Amino acid sequence: MKVPITYLTSANRSLWTESVAKSDGLPARPSGPWIDTKHKLLTYYAHLFATGMKNSWKSRVYLELFSGPGKCFIRDTGTEDLGSPLKVIDHEFTKFIFTEMNGPAAEALAQRLEPYSNSAQTEIWCGDCAEAIQRIHIPDRSLTLAFIDPTGIGHAPFSLIEALRKKTRCDLLINVQHGMGIKMNVHQYTPDSDEECALTQFLGHDGWKKLPRHNAKEFFVGVLDLYKQQLDKLGFSFTGREVLISNQQGSGLYLLLFASGHPRGKEFWEKSLKGVLHPELDLGM
């Protein structure tokens, strides 16, 4: 079924200049092979969430705030892979909501989702997810899994998490751009940075200014701790073990951070870590 797209004033309507997929001629996001671990953890968790919560929650929503076009092009191997929305669309959620800033990417995603039976319960918002989150409707008494997958820390300010929390009860899987976003830019984060500074926006306050900055790794650990405290204040008291996603040279690119308001969420996350990172362990699935 055709997937409706709602265009917001913040939508970026410029032409697609990156790669296109050979398989369907539609936009594809260039990526590296490390994207596989991110997608496996997401889909493993999504499966546990959507099936495990089925009896207690009639309405189970999957919300992805930085969706991409639904296909990736893996530069190193020259192969194509499905993007996260297409990896999750067959799971047992009752509603799927995607937000994507880029017009051609949102349109490609809509076309690619069309053949799936769950497309009947799917909507796309094209524009800045901070604008979209104010407009989207999540049914009352829903349990939501929100995947937040930006390309920089400045794209996902803490106000976005606050708006999301006001809207729905949810579990969060957040891509924290710790390499390029934080560790490599420590020199930029100086005590005279104003409130528009990406790190202040990301954390929702400038408490990071009190952290020692001579060691980038320690600085990041301090920032992560402050971020978890912020999540805890919103009721996300159960944060799971983070997963560092690195490139082939072993340089850390980003962290996947899980947070939930319920201990069951953390339990599912632990299972996902075992299932994906140590698949030899029998999880009874």
Q: Which helix (H) or strand (E) holds 80?
A: strand 79-82
Closest separation in Å from C-beta 135 to ligand SAM: 13
57 vs 271: CA distance, rounded Å: 20
Torsion angle, alpha carbons of 100, 103, 108, 109, to 10: 20
Amino acid sitting at position 132: A
CB 43 within 8 A of CB 285: no
Contact 257, 239 (CB under 8 A): yes
Amino acid in position 77 = T
**Is 129 or 199 the residue whose CB approaches ligand SAM more closely?**
129
The partner residues of 122 in beta bridges, in order of sequence, read 96
Contact track, ligand SAM, 96-135, x by CB under 6 A: ---xxxx--x----------------------xx------
Please tell me whether residue 149 binds ligand SAM under the rule CB under 6 A: yes
d(CA 207, CA 185): 17
Smallest separation, CB 101 to ligand SAM (Å): 4
129 vs 226 by CB, closer to ligand SAM: 129
CB 87 → ligand SAM: shortest distance, Å?
8
Strand partners, 148: 174
Give the x/- contact pattern for ligand SAM in 17-56, rule: CB under 6 A: ------------x---------------------------
Interface with ligand SAM (CB under 6 A), residue total 17
- Among the residue ranges 65-73, 180-188, 196-204, 214-222, the one whose residues contact ligand SAM (CB under 6 A): 65-73
Pairing of strands 238-239, 252-260: antiparallel
Closest CB to ligand SAM belongs to which residue? Answer: 83
AA letter at 3: V
Footprint on this chain of ligand SAM (rule: CB under 6 A)? 29, 66-68, 72, 83-84, 99-102, 105, 128-129, 149, 151, 155
